[in-house]
Amino acid sequence: MNKKLIALAVAGVISGYGAAANAAEVSGFAVVDYVLTDDSGAPVAPATTNAKESKFGAQGEIDFTATPADGVTVRMDVDLDLTAGSGQLEQAFFAWSATESVTVIGGVFNNPIGYEAEDKPDMAFNNHGAVYDVLDGQTALDGDNVAGIAVAGAVGPVTLTGAFLNDISGADEENSIAFIANYSPMEGLDLEVGLVTQDAAAEGVTNFNVVYTGVENLEVGLDYLTADELVDSAYDIWAGYNFGAGFGVNVRISETEDAAANTTEMTAFNVSYKVASNLKAVLEAQSTDVSGGDSSDLTTLKFVATF
């Protein structure tokens, strides 16, 4: 599910969803991963490697979409995880094209704040970056999801979104309010600024991201977040290039700083290959350094297949 759902919905089109009345669709994806190295945990005696190394895992998602009436789409996403031995509901919402330029979305859906998507087919990296991790850590629902209602509309060249949500931190008697603005001042340049309030920090989370795709086969981006009392700041800077013939490379530098000025720095680099139109393989190496702590390395191979 693309994180830019709300922006796309403003035009009355939800990417990948049926447009005709009474249309129904089942889609989804499967992810098979293999952990080559993982220095983030303590070795298991008498071995000298982490227990997660040389292990396979599998996750998947089944998405159900229906358009029983003109202008109204219903979607439900179900996550499945082999290692956890269970499944759970990720999203369940409706999207109503109230007018040609205004869309109403209600239910449980991906957090509209921040750039990085939740689902593996929409991600350039095997693992999430710093901004997503902070947002996911501050939302009570799994998968950086929120529950409530959102209204998105085009005002000239700007797409504005307002949302009334359950408090993202899980406070029983509070609500969160989110505001997001999207603007593309030129072809290939997309800007977004967002704010969501929360009870836990008595204030809110502010995010800004910019993505440039004006050069063929190249993507460069910055995602920056401040979260008041809980996290001082977090950012991701990345670049990716598609060489053609199915090959691509991506590199990302991330950092998180908490209120006590402790920092966590991550660097990720991957090589991807599109085996088929619905199958991609990504080999990724990630290094993590914690101030006053140990460094760790994680190398993973993921196969992402869509249907």
Would you list the domain boundaries of the chain?
Answer: 5-306
Tokens of 126: 């095997």
For residue 174, give the 3-state DSSP assignment: coil
Tokens of 59: 């996750």
C-alpha torsion 5→10→16→21, nearest 10: 130
Compute the distance between CA of residue 258 and CA of residue 55 in angstroms, rounded to an integer. 32
Q: So what's the pLDDT on residue 18?
A: 39
**Is the omega angle on the peptide bond into residue 46 within 30 degrees of 0, that is, cis?**
yes
- Angle subtended at Cα 82 by Cα 81 and Cα 84, rounded to the nearest 5 degrees: 70
Tokens of 20: 């005709």
Compute the distance between CA of residue 135 and CA of residue 115 in angstroms, rounded to an integer. 11
Locate tokens 């809110």: which residue? 204
The pTM assigned to this predicted structure is: 0.89
Q: So what's the pLDDT on residue 32?
A: 96
In the predicted model, what is the mean pLDDT of residues 209-237?
Answer: 91
Contact predicate 117/127, CB 8 Å: no
Compute the distance between CA of residue 5 and CA of residue 16 in angstroms, rounded to an integer. 10
23 compared with 12, residue with greater pLDDT = 23
Q: So what's the pLDDT on residue 143?
A: 85
Specify the range with the lowest mean pLDDT, choosing from 50-54, 90-94, 109-113, 257-261: 50-54
CA distance from start to end of the chain: 13
Contact predicate 91/145, CB 8 Å: yes
Strand residues in the chain grouped as ranges (E): 23-38, 55-69, 72-81, 86-97, 102-110, 145-155, 158-166, 175-186, 189-197, 204-212, 218-227, 231-244, 247-258, 263-276, 279-290, 295-306
Q: So what's the pLDDT on residue 12?
A: 47
- Angle subtended at Cα 136 by Cα 43 and Cα 166, rounded to the nearest 5 degrees: 145
**Residue range 272-297, pLDDT digits in tens:** 999 999 999 999 999 999 987 778 89
Please state whether beta strands 247-258 and 263-276 pair in parallel, antiparallel, or not at all (unpaired).
Answer: antiparallel
Tell me the pLDDT band of 85, cut-offs 50, 70 and 90.
low
**Residue range 117-142, pLDDT digits in tens:** 889 999 999 999 999 999 998 888 88
Contact predicate 67/75, CB 8 Å: no
Computed over every residue of the chain, the mean pLDDT equals: 86
Tell me the pLDDT band of 186, cut-offs 50, 70 and 90.
very high
* Domain with residues 5-306, CATH architecture: Beta Barrel (2.40)
Tokens of 96: 């109503």
Angstrom distances, CA of residue 208 to CA of 29, 112, 181, 192: 29, 12, 10, 6
In the predicted model, what is the mean pLDDT of residues 162-174?
Answer: 85
